[in-house]
Copies of this chain bind each other. A is one copy, B any other.
Amino acid sequence: MKFTCDQEALNLNLGLVNRAVSARPTHPILSTVLINSVDGTISLTGFDLSLGIETSLEAEIEESGSLALPAKLLGEIIAKLPSGEVTIENESGDHLVTITSSSGRYQLRGLDTNEYPALPVIEEGQSHDLKIIDFVDGLRGSIESTSQDESKQVLTGVYLNSQPAMLEFAATDGHRLGIVEIYPEDQTQDENQEPARPFNVVIPAKSMRELDKMLGHSKATKISLQLEDGQVVFRFGNQRLTSRTLEGKYPDYRLLVPKNFARQLTLDRRQLLAALERIAVVSDATNLVKFVIDSNKQKLNVSVDNQTGNGIESLSIQVSGQSLNLAFNIKYLIDGLKILPTQDITISLNGPLEPVIIAPVGGVKMTYLIMPVQLRD
Contacts and interface: CB of A to CB of B under 8 A. Distances in A.
A281 B278 CA distance: 43
A63 interface: no
Contacts of A309: 73, 106-109
Interface stretch (A37-45, A75-83, A138-146, A180-188): A75-83
A278 B77 contact: yes
Contacts of A76: 281
Interface residues of A, number: 27
A279 interface: yes
B281 A311 contact: no
Q: Would you call the interface of chain A mostly helix, strand, loop, or mixed?
A: mixed
Contacts of A322: none
A278 B73 contact: no
Given A73-B308, A104-B314, 19 more contacts: A73-B281, A80-B274, A80-B277, A80-B278, A81-B278, A103-B275, A103-B278, A103-B313, A104-B279, A104-B312, A105-B311, A106-B282, A106-B310, A106-B311, A106-B312, A107-B311, A108-B308, A108-B309, A109-B308
Interface in A70-118: 73, 76-77, 80-82, 103-109
Q: So how many copies of this chain end up in the complex?
A: 2
Nearest to A97: B309
Interface of A: 73, 76-77, 80-82, 103-109, 274-275, 277-279, 281-282, 308-314
9 contacts: A77-B281, A77-B311, A80-B277, A80-B281, A81-B278, A104-B275, A107-B310, A108-B282, A108-B308
A251 to B, nearest CB: 37
Interface hub of A82, A107, A274, A275 (most chain B Cβ within 10 A): A107
Contacts of A277: 80
Contacts of A106: 278, 282, 309-312
